[in-house]
Structures are given as structure tokens and as C-alpha cells.
Structure 1
Amino acid sequence: MINANTEIAREVLQQYAAILEDWIPKDAAVAIAISDYYIYYVEGIHDIRLKEGQPVMPGSIADQVITHRRKVDTIMDNSLFGIPYYGIGYPIDLQGEPAALIVILPPTYHVLRHEPFRFLTGKQDEEWSPVPIEEIAYIESLQKKTWFYVDNEQYCTSYTLKDLQLRLPTSFVRIHRSYIVNIPFIQRISRDISSNLLITLRNGSELPVSQTYMTDVKKALGF
């Protein structure tokens, strides 16, 4: 049954090819899910190691698309596939059943991003202050809120780290599920007692680099 569905999926991709090739890189990964499982997956530059026949997990892009029948465009963390990724899901129909076509790209993919932020407006108590983006040392997700740090000041913003990752300049790099760092504020990179990378900022803050983002960090910093 999966083999038959795979052939159907390939035919669907041919139908959508003219539309998708306008913006999708040739090396993007593509998945198709129908009902509650995946019937097609071809790996790309960013492989999330999805398998044909694998069930659709709650909260995934495929699940959101099939359930709500709408396009979903978002960054996903590593909680579902062990690898963060940027995905765009489209609602389609296969043999009368709701299905989803998902394009999978690296989480740092910026073709669809808006113009990078030039400032962030942060809240302190009952006051709001616009802060130039280049003055922000790092951004943190803590207790379901997003905070950014300038000198010794802490500000709260309504954006999530996922939102910010799409619109921050390239000087910012995601190092952890909870942290995004502005590279010019990095003082040094060392290893802790477990041989994991530890970033020390110029203000003395020490932030861990998770294994998930290790490759991205090394690539961004050139070591």
C-alpha cells in the first residue's frame, strides 16, 4: 500500500512542480503525509531522517496542516525528529483524503524571511524602549517568555525565538533551544568538564552550546 501511495505522491509532486520550483531549492527535502502517516520522503540538504510509513506526530507541521487544512510556515525545534528544521506545509488532497506536502529546509534558511529587524522594542515594568539590534548581546527563552539583554538591562519581547530566528541579522546565531547569541559579543569559546562548548560573552555571561546546534555554531564562527 505504501508503494502505491509513493507512486501517487510522485505524481502529485509533478503536478505541483511548476509552482514549487519558483522558490524551493532543488536540494530541499520533501515529505508527503496522508491521514496519519507519511507516504513519501526524499532527503535534501537538511535531512530529518523521516521514514515512509512513519506515523504523523501530534504538533508536527503535517499534523497541523491536515488537522486545520491550512498552510503552515514555521521553524520546528528538535523535539519531534531530533533535528531542528524550517518547514512549509501545504494542504492537498490525495484520493479524496486530506494530506500535506511539506518542504523541509535548514532552520537558518532565509529565502522567505522578511527584512531583518533593525531594532527590537522591549518592555521593562510598564515602559517600552526600542533598542538597536546591534546593541543586543543575546536573547533567551525563559519561563514561556522571551528576554533580550543590553549591557546590564533585561527586556521582555512578545516575539518567540522561532519568530526572531527568521528576522535577525546574520550576526545572530542559535546556540541552544533557549539561546540566540550576537556574535560580536562573544569573548571566548571553551569546553566545560563534559567537553561541551561553552560561550562566554563580554558581559561575563556563560551560555551552553547544545549538541543540536553544534554544527551551526562551528560553521557560523569558522572553527
Structure 2
Amino acid sequence: MTAATTPKSKSTAAALSPARTNLCLALLVLLGFSLGCSEFVVIGIESDLATELGVSLATAGQLISVFALIYAISTPVLALSTGRFRRYQLLVCYSIVFVLGNLVMALAPNFQVLFISRIILGSVSGALLAVGVTYIPELLSPQQTSLAISVVYGAFSVAMVFVTSIGKFVADTLDWHVAMYGTLAFAVLICGALVAFMPRAGQTDEPATFREQAGLLREPSIITGMLIFCLAWGRSTFSTAT
């Protein structure tokens, strides 16, 4: 964590041209958007899915719930258990699984397969985004890092507004599978570009043990961030339910 904010962390950026640095930053923002599209695409077409797949609206809503549940469980578990692996290796593996999840979702012939695709996507989306943002301190100065991370996560939220409306329009005009195909194509494009252009190594790419990773959970800033997320998620869930 501390290595990412020291002057040494600029060595990766120094090895990249300004154009490639900007490209990497743009790809990370688009990654956040792509992850958001994959998560929220089912919201706008939930009623269409329920009708065409022969399930109740409440059952179709499980596609949203299972993603959120698996996302919440798998993200910290993967963060703690994969510290010994190189960052670029994780980026490649998570990207492959993410694209696979989108492929299964787009081709799903029934509710059961669609449900499985949501589990696959939820299992890696948080980890993929977390790995992606670790590159930012090496691409920007410490003063710019926080803003850039906010933009990446902001793109994830913006995707909800975009994909729910566009997905609903596409589903009503064409077919809900077409909305899924669009999400898949975008995921393939962004993940392929990330694998091709992101740096292979850097100052924050040192392996970490489980104990070192778990030690972060004692940091006040980490605890505060977790509480903010949990309370905000609980409030939004309660508001939706009522």
C-alpha cells in the first residue's frame, strides 16, 4: 500500500509514453463502466426476462441479488487469497472469467444458466476492478491518484443509469439477448485492450502473504470505507424494498 504512494511508484509511468499512460487510464475508466454494464444490464429488462424465461418477477430479481451477494463475498476472499500472484497474471485470469461470464449470460437459454452466469460475473467483478485500480498510483502523481480512482468507480455507477435505459430500449425493440451481446462485445474489447496495453510489472506488483493482506483490515480508513459501503447498500436496499 505505501509503495504505491512513494516517488518510486512513478517508475512504471516513466517507462510509458504519455500516450500509452493516457490510454491505460482511459481503459481503467472503461473497465469500470463495463463492469457496471454487466452487473446492471438485467435491471432494465427484468420484466422481459421474467416473461420470456417463464419465471416470476420476484424470481427474476434473484439475478440482481445473487450478483451482489457473490460480489460481496468473493471480492475480499480473492484479495486475501491471491496476494502471492503477480498483478498482471490476476488481470488476465479475471478478464477471462469476466468475459466467460458475459458469454454465458448472452447465450443463456433458460433462467438456470442465466443465474449461473450471474454467479460467475459476481465472483470476479470486484476483484478485477480492485486489481485495475492498483495501476493508477503508478500512472499518476499522488495528488491525482484519488481523483482518478473516484472517476473509475464513478464510471461503474454511471453504467447503471446508461445500461438500464439503453438495455430496456434494446430489449423492447429487438430482444433481450441483443442487450447481453452488446455487453459481451464491450467486455471483450476492454479486457482485450487491458491485457494488451497495461504494464506487466510495477512497484505495487510485489507478492503479499495472507497475513500482510489481512492486516489492512485493521486500518481505520479501510474500516470506515467498509462501513460507508455497507450502510449505503443497506439504505438503498431498504428503500427499494419499501
What range describes the TM-score normalised by the shorter chain of this pair? Answer: under 0.3
Answer with 1 or 2: which has the greater Rg: 1
Instruction: Judging by fraction of residues, say which structure has more strand.
Output: 1
Higher helix share: 2
Q: Which structure has the higher relative contact order (CA within 8 Å, separation 6+)?
A: 2
